[in-house]
Structure 1
Amino acid sequence: MDSQSPATLFALAVQSLLNSEPEVIHALQHIPRRLFVPFFKAAFMGGHKNIITRMVKIWPFTCLHMGTLNVQEPQHELLKAMVESLPVFPNQNSDFRSCELRVLDLRKDDGCKTVCSESNDKSVTCFHACAYSEHSILKRESRCNVVNSESEGQSSRQPMELLVDICLNGTLGEDEFLSFLLSKAKESLGFLHLCCRDLQIYKLCNCKSTLSCLDLQCVKELSFNQASLSEVTKILSQVVQLDKLSLSKITCKSLNGIICGNFTTQLRRMDHLKELNLSFCLTDHLENILSVLPSGLDFLSLNSCRLSHNDFKFLSQCPQVNHLKQLNLSNNRIFSEDCESLHTLLQKVSGTLQHLAIDYCLLTDATLPVLISSISHCSHLRLLRFGCNPITMPMLKRVMQHLTCLMELKYVVYSLPVHCYGIWDFLGRLDPQKFAEVKAEISMMLQVAQRNDMKWITYFEEI
């Protein structure tokens, strides 16, 4: 019997049990704790709603995380059933097997196990429990340890936490699910804390009433698409600690006025910010924003920010970006006078940079060599994007010769040479035969360089 047989036999046994739903529901009272997690995963992926409902009611661990489970449209009803089954009231669960569940995490997180490691501490042991909101179970327990003024009926109830990521994009499915979650939290009379970690807001003007129902102290990742800078600032003032901030299509009459000053005042509070994504006009104002941030940024995206020469110059001197792992400068025109500043910046981050994007920057044969020279020293680079720039085939070959020495670089999105397009229009009509010839030559050069582990694709192939 090979090493895979025990796992296969167990999986077959689980599937056989799941086909007998009434018997399984009755047997759940007697299943050992160590079998709950694999049994739950199989039941969830198989869409066994009644079994999942019962398992949540008698869950024998402090927490339950979706983690790596793939939640598609058919599983949305299962998520609702899980939330509905949360035993927030003592008389809701009359089973002799008590429920230990305190934290239900509906977020997708590939680095999160179904349950956290347990300790001997009687308090909440989930590593992902909310740490900032005044309504979190950790702070509620802390207050209860100081004074317990609740009635006897209330003291038998333990607070619970529901961790979610929310996207306010106006779609019917998202709106209905969020309404359901808010209703469940309201019915719990304060004993179920709805904790949103990743909040994405599309058209802020359309979802202000919904935002008023959310506890923004929990938010760790915040994204805005289509909002005014004053509205963004108001929301930021309610956030306690951010790891990631994304701002796209933000409007402001002037970046020199009081509104921008209030915005940077809020940014100054973001001591733990690691990722910043900006995609709106910042011409000659990049310094106002970056200079107030902490010096430990890992990811910076300035896509379509209309950066000026002064902005590039400041970027090369900015201490906040000295240890970047990812940098996106796409859709900003890079002139020859800007290349020296970028050369300096890339030299500073050569020991940490892993991802670099300079798509649609109108780089040419005259400007690209300066950048490629510095890029070739980024020893930890894994992904490089320089697609849709008007360069020639000789320059593309030169770029490849510089990059094949980077052993950690596995993915390159490159620019098709200008001769592959119509004579009058760069990025216009593509000649299929010339495209195929370039691909064949790239493939041959990779074989000669013995870099079959590298994948070179164009923007068109990626789409």
Structure 2
Amino acid sequence: MSTYNPPTLQQLALDALLRNDAIDSFDLDHLPTMLFPPLFLEAFNGRHTEILKAMVAAWPFSYLPLGPLLKTNDVEMLQAVLDGIDILLTQTVLPRKLQVLDLRVVHQDFWDAWAEKEDSVCSADVLIKKQVPDYNLGYPLRQCFQVVTNLALFFSLNKHQTCLLQWAQERKDSLQLCCLKMKICDFPLEIIREVFNMFQPKYIEELEINTNQVMYFLSFFGHFLGEMRNLLKFHLHQTHFNFSLMNTVKDVKMCAAQFFSQFSKLNHLQHLYVNGAHFSYDNMKELFRCLKNPLESLSMVFCHLSVSDLKHMSECQRLYQLKHLHFYGVLFSESCFKRLQILLENISETLQTLQIENCRMTDSQLKVLLPTLIHCSQLTLVNFYDNDFSTPVLKDLLQCMANLSKLTVERYPAPLECYNDMGNVVAERFSQVCRELKDILMAKRQHKTLFFATVPCTHCWMRCVYDMKTRLCHCWQERGD
């Protein structure tokens, strides 16, 4: 027997208001505040653009989190909201209730509550009292309408971005554009300059750059980086780097020094991720000298670090509060590890995650670090994948790790004895050795997440993994011993 669920009085009221494509401003003036968000949702999902314009102009809260609703590149609905902002900006009644339009994908709970979803994390009543979700840039803003967004600039502007930027350019005297997170991937530099003329760099908190024009880009971008006074996270990725007759080692050092000098202006930087060979050739001295704020995270990928680089790193007091240290594909010389040990000693009381992956560390290099690793009592995660350790030295490492009670995630490489002369995994030997290694840990403490893994297969790129049981990749299963 079917059950009939009659529409609620609220739904009937919303249906009546949406019956026409336009809505009278008198209706909105007398519309209860609690009906605005559900009516806005209905109008947005039903593509009632004229109603949407009127509702934005009459929005009764100081904050409108539009981002969660713009899940597709729907320029028409964005334009309708911007048209509503135009109506709002021409109003002579001050102060305006709506002050911030947020285009980031945040505060989904705002809409979930008004849509009365069962899994909503807050109720509509709470949002009525609060009105504005937790939003704070952390520094004073001009008293004008604010549009907050994140920008991902990949190769060219998409329709959504073009619509917003063209609209904002014509209203730059009455708007404040704030971009908190920006990603740039091989984007035309002349357009980047125009973007920063509208989105002031000082509001950017997270920046990620991917470029294959390293010299040209660093020379161009240094000025803008120096203006990012509130930058918290910075990712710099190099796609590839080609020397030309003009790009000598001396040119690279000079360009890198000029770029790194801008770090002296980044007073809030906490997380730094660098990827690329242009950070080699003894270029790190300038970077570590210019750091002004203690870092929490440092990640270096495919960087060629010299003894001099490690010396300056180990002596930089701005690194002495590191919580997260990550090296991937960094080839250290034998003499570098004493300096790396000194750095680990200086951060042993704060370090929570340590990842030294694919660095082809040898037994002798690991032995230099062992006396220090045992004192890193705050570690919760370690990752030593893709290093060249023998079984005896790996056992020494596990003896150290067994004393660290806070470890919850541990990743270790399969020892060299697990491979035959051809570089293939010997399945039985792999399983047996990994069981023995696991027992070293379990003799002192229970592990939570523990993996032993081989290097990736050159055919399927999968690893053979031991985590209480052996899982071989398909290629190695067929190949056998």
Asked if TM exceeds 0.5, the reply is: yes
TM score, norm. by length of structure 2:
0.70
Structure 1 segment 416-435 matched on structure 2, within 5 A: 416-425=414-423, 429-431=424-426, 434-435=429-430
User: Are 1:298 and 1:324, in contact at CA under 8 Å, matched by a contact in 2?
Assistant: yes
Supply the distance in 2 between the matched residues of 1:335 and 1:162 (Cα, whole angstroms).
50
Picking from 276, 284, 288, the partner of 1:280 is 276
Amino acid at match of 2:309: D
Q: 1:374 to 1:105 in 2, by over 3 A?
A: farther
Residue in 1 that maps onto 2:121: none
Which digits, 9 at most, give the CA deviation of each residue in 1:184-241, with x for residues without a partner?
A: 323546434332122222224x353244133242322222222322123243245444
Alpha-carbon distance in structure 2 between the residues aligned to 1:442 and 1:24:
69
Aligned in 2, Cα 1:257/1:383: closer, same or farther, shift over 3 Å?
closer
For structure 2, the 5+ residue unaligned runs are 114-125, 242-246, 456-461, 466-472, 474-481
Partner of 2:64: 64
2:210 to 225, 234, 248: 225
C-alpha distance in 2 between matches for 1:394 and 1:19: 75
Which structure 2 residues correspond to residues 247-286 of structure 1 after superposition, within 5 A? 247-249=236-238, 253=248, 254=250, 258-281=254-277, 282-286=280-284
Partners of 2:178 and 2:302 lie apart in 1 by 33
- One-letter amino acid matched to 1:244: K
Higher alpha-carbon deviation: 357-366 or 432-441 = 432-441
Structure 1: distance between partners of 2:40 and 2:427: 47
- Please give the secondary structure, in 2, of the residue aligned with 1:408: coil
Q: Return the match for 1:90 from 77, 87, 90.
A: 87
User: Taking every aligned residue pair, what percent have the same amino acid on both sides?
Assistant: 24
Q: Which amino acid aligns with 2:410?
A: V
Structure 1 stretch displaced more, 248-257 or 174-183: 248-257
Residue 42 to residue 326, structure 1, CA distance change in 2 (3 Å): farther
Indicate the residue corresponding to 2:177 in structure 1.
194
Task: Look up the match of 1:128.
Answer: 136
Corresponding position: 1:243 with 2:226:
no
Amino acid at match of 2:451: W
Work out the CA distance in 1 between the residues paired with 2:154 and 2:346: 39
User: Where does residue 150 of structure 1 map in the other structure?
Assistant: none
Residues 208-223 of structure 1 aligned to structure 2 (within 5 Å): 208-214=190-196, 215-217=199-201, 218-223=203-208
1:308 match: 306
- In 2, the alpha carbon distance for the partners of 1:14 and 1:296 equals 58
Letter in 2 for 1:230: S
**Partner residue of 1:372?**
370
Give 2:468's aligned residue. Answer: none
Counterpart residue identity of residue 391, structure 1? F
1:361-400 residue pairs with structure 2 within 5 A? 361-400=359-398
Taking structure 1 as reference, are residues 260 and 77 closer, same or farther at Cα in structure 2, changes over 3 Å only? closer
Greater Cα offset, 236-245 or 384-393: 236-245
CA gap 1:75/1:264 in 2 versus in 1, 3 angstroms: closer
1:103 aligns with 2:103: no
1:18–1:43 contact (8 Å) kept in structure 2:
no
CA distance in 1, matches of 2:426, 2:56: 58
Deviation, structure 1 residue 313: 2.0
Instruction: Return the offset for 1:336.
Output: 3.6
Over 3 Å counting, the alpha-carbon distance change for 1:181 and 1:292 in structure 2 is same
Question: 1:267-320 CA distances to partner (integer Å, 9 max, x unpaired)?
Answer: 222222222222233232211211111141122222221001221122111112
Distance 1:99 1:234, change over 3 A: closer
Any residues of structure 2 matched to 1:402-413 within 5 Å, and which?
402-413=400-411
**What is the DSSP-based 3-state SS (H/G/I as helix, E as strand, rest coil) of the residue aligned with 1:358?**
strand
Distance 1:66-1:335 versus aligned 2 partners, 3 A rule? farther
Distance in structure 1 (CA, Å) of the matches to 2:75 and 2:435: 48
C-alpha distance after superposition, 1:56-81 (max 9, x if no partner): 555432223479x6x8xx82257973
**For 2:301, what is the secondary structure of its paired residue?**
coil
SS at structure 1 position matched to 2:387: coil
Alpha-carbon distance in structure 2 between the residues aligned to 1:257 and 1:89: 49
Q: What count of residue pairs does the alignment treat as equivalent?
A: 413
CA gap 1:22/1:110 in 2 versus in 1, 3 angstroms: closer
Contact 2:418 2:426 (C-alpha < 8 Å) held by counterparts: yes
Q: Deviations over 1:27-57 (max 9, x none)?
A: 99888657877x599979x966659947655
Which whole-Å CA distance do the structure 1 matches of 2:432 and 2:152 have between them? Answer: 44
CA gap of 1:42–1:90, structure 2 versus 1, over 3 A, is closer
Whether contact under 8 Å (2:256, 2:283) holds in the other structure is: no
CA distance in structure 1 between the partners assigned to 2:281 and 2:36 by the alignment = 56
**Structure-2 separation of matches of 1:255 and 1:402:** 44
Give the Cα separation in 1 of the matches to 2:137 and 2:260: 30
Structure 2 equivalent of residue 454 of structure 1: 449
Structure 1: 5+ residue runs without aligned partners?
A: 1-11, 133-137, 142-158
Tell me how far apart the structure 1 counterparts of residues 447 and 392 of structure 2 sit (CA, whole Å): 21
Going from structure 1 to structure 2, the CA distance change for 1:189 and 1:295 (only over 3 Å counts) comes to closer
Deviates more, 1:450-459 or 1:272-281: 450-459
Q: CA, structure 1 residues 415+47, in 2 after alignment: closer, same or farther (shift >3 Å)? A: farther
Query: Match for residue 22 of structure 1?
Result: 15
For residue 368 of structure 1, what is the amino acid of its counterpart? L
Q: Is the CA contact (8 Å cut-off) linking 2:269 and 2:293 kept in structure 1?
A: no
Q: For 2:146, which of 151, 161, 164 is the aligned residue?
A: 161
Take 2:139 and 2:398, find their aligned partners in 1: how far apart are those partners? Answer: 48
Residues 188 and 333 of structure 1, relative CA distance in 2, 3 Å threshold: same
- The change in CA–CA distance for 1:59 and 1:309 in structure 2 (over 3 A counts) is same
Secondary structure of 1:389 counterpart: coil
Whole-Å Cα distance in 1 between the matches of residues 428 and 8 of structure 2?
A: 52
Partner of 1:344: 342
Amino acid at match of 2:136: H
Within-5 A mapping of 1:321-340? 321-340=319-338
CA distance, structure 2, for counterparts of residue 347 and residue 60 of structure 1: 56
Deviation of the 1:454 alpha carbon: 3.2
Distance in 2 (alpha carbons) for counterparts of 1:168 and 1:213: 10
What's the RMSD between the two structures over aligned residues?
4.6
SS at match of 1:374: helix
Between the aligned partners of 1:421 and 1:161, the Cα distance in structure 2 is 60
Cα 1:203/1:219, change in 2 over 3 Å? same
